[in-house]
Amino acid sequence: MRPDVTVTWWGHATCTVEDSGTRVLTDPLFVRRLAHLRRRRGALPPPEAAVADVVLLSHLHADHLHVPSLARLAPGTRALLPRGAARSVPGLRRLSHLRFTEVEPGDEVPVGDGGVVVRVVPALHDGRRLPVGPHRSPALGYVVQGAARTYFAGDTGLFDAMADEVGAVDVALLPVGGWGPYLGHGHLDPARAAEALARIAPRSAVPVHYGTYWPIGMDAVRPHEFHTPGDEFVRQAARRAPDVAVHRLAHGESVRPEAAR
């Protein structure tokens, strides 16, 4: 992997991966408050965070597929999203300035002009548009294949075929927490994320999906679930996957994973 591949974490599941001159944006969430959640750490992403050649949307939950945040993207921006999303999220119809492509596991989509290909992989997570959406759309992960192979897991739990489905990758962007005091089925906590790391065996990893949003009025309810997942993942990863370089980023911080080893 060449050191010109850069990963920037903007908070929650929102990252920019720059590879071979192509900017890939994951699950953009650019607001201070979403329903009962408020952003408790990190400044809001700057305008340049919304600049992308392609956007990867992992599933239909509003903190991952956020229509007002998508509205900030430049006209002509391409967005990959789960099959059936347009039927489940009527607000997408207002975003006529974007180029949507519905995908499912096994699809491979060329993006940009630098030879980058996005490969769609499965995730173990509830893919509905909550609270009452039907089970129409799968939750997805993506592997960005260019100078590096970067796995964006979206939201997922561990599943038996994870390593086979993801394949060989250089960098893994793994969720290690959530936005509430308890993690349900279909999520990774720091220990399960470290187990995923051991199975996938990338060269580098960046923990995401923690330490950004928290329910209003619940500051005193299990606060360690908000504050500690990043550090705990570093600790667990050192024990379970000691050959993987883990980069715990601050909000807005970037890393060139190969250069940082």
Say if residue 24 is exposed, middle or buried (CB neighbours under 10 Å; 0-12, 13-18, 19+).
buried
Q: Which residue's structure tokens are 């394949």?
A: 167
All domains in the chain, ordered by first residue: 5-255 (3.60.15.10)
1 confidence band (pLDDT: 50, 70, 90): very low
CA distance 243 to 38: 36
47 confidence band (pLDDT: 50, 70, 90): very high
Burial 131-168 (b: 16+ CB within 10 A, else e): eebeebbbbbbbbbbbbbbbbbbbbbbeeeebeebbee
Give the residue among 134, 106, 191, 112 at the shortest CA–CA distance from 157: 191
For the residues 98-115, what does the mean pLDDT come to? 95
Give the residue among 122, 118, 99, 123 at the shortest CA–CA distance from 108: 118
Cβ atoms < 10 Å from Cβ of 104: 13
Q: Would you state the pLDDT for residue 261? A: 45
Q: Would you state the pLDDT for residue 124? A: 94
CA distance 81 to 99: 11
Q: Would you state the pLDDT for residue 223? A: 84
pLDDT at 154 over 70: yes
The three-state (H, E, C) secondary structure of 118-129, written as one string: EEEEECCCCCCC
The answer to pTM > 0.85 is yes
For residue range 109-150, what is the model confidence (pLDDT) as tens digits? 999 888 999 999 999 988 767 655 556 789 999 999 999 999
CA distance 200 to 150: 12
- Express as a percent the part of the chain with pLDDT over 70: 95
Q: Which residue has the higher pLDDT, 48 or 137?
A: 48
Q: Is 174 helix (H, G, I), strand (E, B) or coil?
A: strand
